[in-house]
C-alpha cells in the first residue's frame, strides 16, 4: 500500500520540482527509460501503486506520492488518473452500489461461464504463456543463438506479427460459445499499431538487446497487450526473420453506475476503449453526478501519431465547480538508445478543493492552477551499462486560491504561488533489467530495474521571467535495487527524494521522502513483503501536507483520517500466489497484512494527534490478465487495532489496483 500527499500536496511538489517531459507521456506510452524515470510511475521497480476511486474531478486531488518526483505537466494528474483510476473500485464499510456494479462487470463473465459444463475450473499457468500450435516453430528448424547471430553480423529480414485474440480457441478449455462471441466482438490490434512499438526494422543489424527492450516496453507501457514473445524463427544467407507474438486483452468498457449514500444519489456513465478500433489509441467519454460535483469529460491518448514515435494527449472536463483541460505533444525517449526528445504542453485546472479532518469533510476552497512546459532532451552517454541524459526547458506554474462560492472556509487559505522558470535536469540510469513472476502481479511477467537511477534538477524563477518571487528550485532523486542471494529469493528496493525552494535566504516547501520495499520467498507459492515509508516536510506551502488513512495505507481506518507535515508508514504482508485460474479469467491469490503508521505536525487544517495507528486484515487478490481495466482486484477485510467511537470495527474494501 502507499500513502498519499493531499490534493494540493501533489501539486506542492509540482510547484518546486524541476520539470521534465516524462509527465506529458502517460505511463502507458512511456518507455522505462524516460528522462524523469520516476519509480512512482515506471513499473520497473516493484513499488506499490495506489489508485483512487473518487470521481474524475476530484481524482487529481488524490494523487499517490511515495517520495519520487510528483511534478507532472498541466492537468497531468487529472489526465493520467481519469483515464485509469476513475473506473477503479473503492468499496468501504457502506459498500457503495457504484463500486459493486463496476466489480460485478468484471465478475459477470465468470457467472455466465458457470452455466456451461465446459467452463470447468482450471489449474495451471495462464494461456498468455502458451503459443497456439499454428504459431509454433516447426520441429527441427535450426536457428543460431543470439551470440552466433551477432557474430555473423546478421541482418533482420522479414518481421512477422501475430496477434492472439483474447481467448485462444485452439485450446479446448476456451473454445465455447461465450468466448467465441467475445472474440468476435473484440477488434484485434492492428499490425501497424504493433509495428509502431518495435525498436527494430527490416534491414537493421540483429540486436538481442533491442529485442529484449521492445518486449519490456510492451509489457510495461501497453495495457492492451499481454506477454509479448519476440524471437528469431528463421535464418538464411545472413538474414534472420523475426516473429512477434502478442496476446490481445479486452479493452472496451462501457459502464453505468448508481449509488445512494447519506440520502444523496450519485450516478454516471462512461465509454472507454483503451485500444480504439485496434489502433492502440485510447478514447474515453463520460458523465458523473455526485455529492461533490457534476462532470462531463473526454480523454484522448495517441502513443504513435501516424505510426511514428510522436505522442499526443488531450483531456477536457467540464465540472459544476470549474473546468479542467490539458493538451500535450511530445517526441519522448522511447528507448534507452533514443538520442533526442522534446515537446510542449499546456493546461488549466479550476475546481473546488475539499479538505478533510479525521476522515470527515472540514471545509472547501477554490483553486485555479495553470501550467505549461516546453522542453528538449539530449542523451549525453549511451552504452551497454549507462544512459545519461540532459533535459532543458521552461515551465510556468501558477496556483491561485479563493473562497469557494457558497461553501464554508474554516481554515486559512493557502498563499498564491506563481512560478516561471528555466530549468536543467540530469539523469543517470544504469541499464540493468531482470524479469520475474509473482511479485506484484499474479502469473504475469514483471520487469525489474535493478540498476541505480539518479536525477538532479535546478531552476530559477524571478519577476523578470514572469514569476511573483525570486526562487531557486532544487529537486533530486536516487533509487537502487538489490537481489540478495540466488534465484531472486530476496529483493530489496529503496528510493529517496529531496526538493525545496530557496527564497530570501530560507528554505520553503522542503520535502524529503524515503521508502524501501523488501521481498522474501517463503515457499513455492508465498512471498513475504514489507515496506517502510517516511516523509518529512519543512516550512510547507499551505496547500501541501500528507494524508494517511484507509486509501493511503492504513486499511483499517477511514480515508484521509490523519494529516500532517511528517508521516511514517510500515506494512507487512504475507502473499500467496496460486495456480488457480477460474474460467480462464482470473488468477487467484491471497494476502494477510499488518499496517502501522502516523502523522506529525499541523497543517492549516489542524487534526488531533492520535499517535500510532495500527490495523490487521486479510483478503483475496484476483489477477486480471484478460482485460486492460486493471491489474489486481483486492477484496479485503481490515480491522483497526486502535479504536475510536466513530470508527467501524471492520472495514470492507474492494479495490482495483496496479499491483498485489
Mean pLDDT of 290-313: 88
Give the per-residue pLDDT at 584: 82
Give the per-residue pLDDT at 21: 33
Q: Which grid cell is 575?
A: 502473499
Cα–Cα–Cα angle for 565, 569, 573, nearest 5°? 165
Q: Does the pLDDT at position 20 exceed 70? A: no
Quote the CA–CA distance of 372 and 346 in Å, as a whole number: 4
* pLDDT tens-digit readout, 37-71: 222 222 233 322 222 222 222 222 222 222 223 23
Higher pLDDT, 123 or 426: 426
Give the per-residue pLDDT at 106: 44
Give the per-residue pLDDT at 630: 64
Q: Does the pLDDT at position 402 exceed 80? A: yes
Considering the entire predicted model, what is its pTM? 0.79
Q: Does the pLDDT at position 13 exceed 70? A: no
Give the per-residue pLDDT at 463: 95
Give the per-residue pLDDT at 494: 96
Whole-Å CA distances, 171 to 181, 420, 442, 515, 586: 15, 59, 21, 44, 17
Higher pLDDT, 472 or 49: 472
Q: Does the pLDDT at position 204 exceed 50? A: yes
Burial class (CB in 10 A: 0-12, 13-18, 19+), 177: exposed
How many C-alpha atoms does 538 have within 13 Å on its Cβ side? 12
* pLDDT tens-digit readout, 183-201: 899 999 999 999 999 999 9
pLDDT category at 291 given cuts 50, 70, 90 is: low
Q: Does the pLDDT at position 73 exceed 70? A: no
Strand partners, 633: 622, 656
Give the per-residue pLDDT at 552: 83
Strand partners, 343: 330, 375
Mean pLDDT of 268-279: 88
Quote the CA–CA distance of 139 and 146 in Å, as a whole number: 19
Higher pLDDT, 359 or 428: 428
Q: Does the pLDDT at position 90 exceed 80? A: no
Burial class (CB in 10 A: 0-12, 13-18, 19+), 296: middle
Give the per-residue pLDDT at 253: 79
pLDDT category at 81 given cuts 50, 70, 90 is: very low
Whole-Å CA distances, 16 to 57, 71, 173, 331: 23, 8, 55, 24
Burial class (CB in 10 A: 0-12, 13-18, 19+), 582: middle
3-state secondary structure of 192: helix
Mean pLDDT of 616-637: 86
Q: Which residues contact 600 (CB under 8 A, 6 or more apart)?
A: 564, 565, 566, 567, 609
Give the per-residue pLDDT at 265: 58
Quote the CA–CA distance of 272 and 82 in Å, as a whole number: 11
Mean pLDDT of 131-157: 90
Give the per-residue pLDDT at 172: 85
Mean pLDDT of 557-581: 90
Give the per-residue pLDDT at 101: 43
* pLDDT tens-digit readout, 213-250: 999 999 988 889 988 999 999 999 899 999 999 999 98
Provide the mean pLDDT of the chain: 78
Are 19 and 73 in contact, with CB atoms under 8 Å apart?
Answer: yes
DSSP 36: T
Give the per-residue pLDDT at 580: 87
Q: List, in sequence order, every beta strand (DSSP E) within 192-305.
A: 225-236, 239-248, 252-261, 264-273, 282-289, 294-302
Quote the CA–CA distance of 658 and 223 in Å, as a whole number: 11
Contacts of 573-576 with C-beta under 8 Å, sequence gap 24+, read 573/528, 573/529, 573/530, 574/522, 574/526, 574/527, 574/528, 574/529, 575/526, 575/527, 575/528, 575/529, 575/621, 575/660, 576/525, 576/526
Q: What percent of the chain has pLDDT over 70?
A: 78
Are 271 and 284 in contact, with CB atoms under 8 Å apart?
Answer: yes
Quote the CA–CA distance of 115 and 56 in Å, as a whole number: 36
Are 73 and 15 in contact, with CB atoms under 8 Å apart?
Answer: no
Lowest mean pLDDT, pick from 285-294, 411-420, 535-544, 577-586: 285-294
Q: What percent of the chain has pLDDT over 90?
A: 48
Amino acid at each position: 500500500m502507499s500513502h498519499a500527499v493531499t490534493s494540493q500536496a501533489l501539486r506542492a511538489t509540482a510547484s518546486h520540482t524541476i520539470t521534465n517531459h516524462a509527465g506529458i507521456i502517460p505511463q502507458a506510452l512511456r518507455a522505462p527509460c524516460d528522462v524523469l524515470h520516476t519509480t512512482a510511475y515506471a513499473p520497473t521497480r516493484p513499488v506499490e501503486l495506489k489508485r483512487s476511486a473518487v470521481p474524475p474531478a476530484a481524482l487529481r486531488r488524490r494523487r499517490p506520492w511515495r517520495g519520487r518526483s510528483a511534478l507532472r505537466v498541466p492537468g497531468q494528474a487529472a489526465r493520467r488518473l481519469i483515464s485509469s483510476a476513475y473506473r477503479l473500485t473503492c468499496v468501504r464499510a457502506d459498500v457503495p452500489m457504484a463500486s459493486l456494479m463496476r466489480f460485478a462487470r468484471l465478475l459477470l463473465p465468470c457467472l455466465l461461464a458457470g452455466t456451461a459444463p465446459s467452463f470447468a475450473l482450471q489449474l495451471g499457468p495462464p494461456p498468455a504463456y502458451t503459443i497456439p500450435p499454428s504459431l509454433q516453430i516447426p520441429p527441427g528448424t535450426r536457428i543460431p543463438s543470439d551470440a552466433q547471430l551477432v557474430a555473423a553480423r546478421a541482418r533482420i529480414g522479414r518481421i512477422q506479427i501475430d496477434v492472439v485474440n483474447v481467448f485462444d480457441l485452439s485450446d479446448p478449455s476456451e473454445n465455447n460459445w461465450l468466448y467465441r462471441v467475445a472474440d468476435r466482438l473484440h477488434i484485434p490490434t492492428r499490425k501497424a499499431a504493433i509495428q509502431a512499438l518495435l525498436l527494430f526494422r527490416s534491414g537493421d543489424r540483429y540486436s538481442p538487446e533491442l529485442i529484449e527492450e521492445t518486449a519490456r516496453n510492451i509489457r510495461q507501457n501497453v495495457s492492451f497487450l499481454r506477454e509479448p514473445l519476440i524471437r528469431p524463427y528463421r535464418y538464411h544467407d545472413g538474414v534472420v526473420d523475426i516473429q512477434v507474438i502478442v496476446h490481445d486483452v479486452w479493452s472496451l468498457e462501457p459502464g453505468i453506475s448508481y449509488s445512494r449514500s447519506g440520502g444523496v444519489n450519485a450516478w454516471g456513465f462512461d465509454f472507454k476503449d483503451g485500444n480504439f478500433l485496434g489502433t492502440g489509441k485510447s478514447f474515453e467519454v463520460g458523465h458523473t453526478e455526485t455529492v461533490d460535483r457534476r462532470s462531463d469529460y473526454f480523454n484522448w491518448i495517441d502513443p504513435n501519431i501516424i505510426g511514428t514515435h510522436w505522442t499526443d494527449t488531450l483531456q477536457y472536463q467540464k465540472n459544476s465547480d470549474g473546468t479542467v483541460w490539458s493538451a500535450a505533444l511530445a517526441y519522448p525517449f522511447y528507448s534507452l538508445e533514443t538520442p533526442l526528445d522534446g515537446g510542449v504542453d499546456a493546461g488549466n485546472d479550476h475546481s473546488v478543493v475539499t479538505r478533510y479532518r479525521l476522515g470527515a469533510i472540514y471545509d472547501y476552497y477554490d483553486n485555479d492552477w495553470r501550467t505549461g512546459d516546453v522542453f528538449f532532451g539530449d542523451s549525453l552517454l549511451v552504452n551497454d551499462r549507462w544512459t545519461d541524459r540532459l533535459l532543458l526547458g521552461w515551465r510556468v506554474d501558477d496556483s491561485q486560491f479563493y473562497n469557494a462560492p457558497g461553501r464554508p472556509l474554516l481554515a486559512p487559505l493557502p498563499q498564491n504561488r506563481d512560478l516561471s522558470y528555466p530549468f536543467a535536469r540530469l539523469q543517470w540510469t544504469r541499464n540493468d533489467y531482470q524479469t520475474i513472476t509473482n511479485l506484484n502481479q499474479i502469473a504475469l511477467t514483471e520487469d525489474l530495474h535493478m540498476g541505480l537511477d539518479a536525477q538532479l534538477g535546478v531552476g530559477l524563477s524571478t519577476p523578470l521571467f514572469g514569476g511573483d518571487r525570486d526562487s531557486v528550485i532544487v529537486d533530486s532523486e536516487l533509487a537502487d535495487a538489490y537481489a540478495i542471494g540466488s534465484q531472486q529469493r530476496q529483493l530489496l528496493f529503496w528510493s529517496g527524494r529531496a526538493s525545496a525552494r530557496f527564497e530570501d535566504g530560507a528554505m520553503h516547501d522542503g520535502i524529503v521522502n524515503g521508502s524501501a520495499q523488501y521481498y522474501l520467498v517463503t515457499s513455492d507459492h508465498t512471498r513475504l513483503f514489507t515496506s517502510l515509508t517516511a516523509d518529512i516536510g519543512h516550512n510547507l506551502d499551505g496547500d501541501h501536507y500528507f494524508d494517511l488513512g484507509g486509501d493511503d495505507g492504513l486499511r483499517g481506518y477511514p480515508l484521509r483520517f490523519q494529516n500532517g507535515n511528517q508521516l511514517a508508514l510500515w506494512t507487512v504482508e504475507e502473499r500467496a500466489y496460486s495456480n488457480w485460474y477460474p474460467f480462464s479469467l482470473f488468477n487467484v491469490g491471497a494476502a494477510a497484512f499488518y499496517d502501522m503508521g502516523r502523522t506529525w505536525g499541523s497543517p492549516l487544517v489542524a487534526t488531533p494527534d492520535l499517535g500510532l495507528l495500527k490495523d490487521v486484515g486479510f483478503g483475496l487478490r484476483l489477477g486480471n490478465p484478460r482485460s486492460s481495466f486493471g491489474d489486481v482486484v483486492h477484496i479485503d477485510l481490515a480491522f483497526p487495532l486502535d479504536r475510536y467511537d466513530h470508527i467501524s470495527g471492520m472495514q470492507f474494501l474492494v479495490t482495483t489496483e496496479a499491483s498485489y
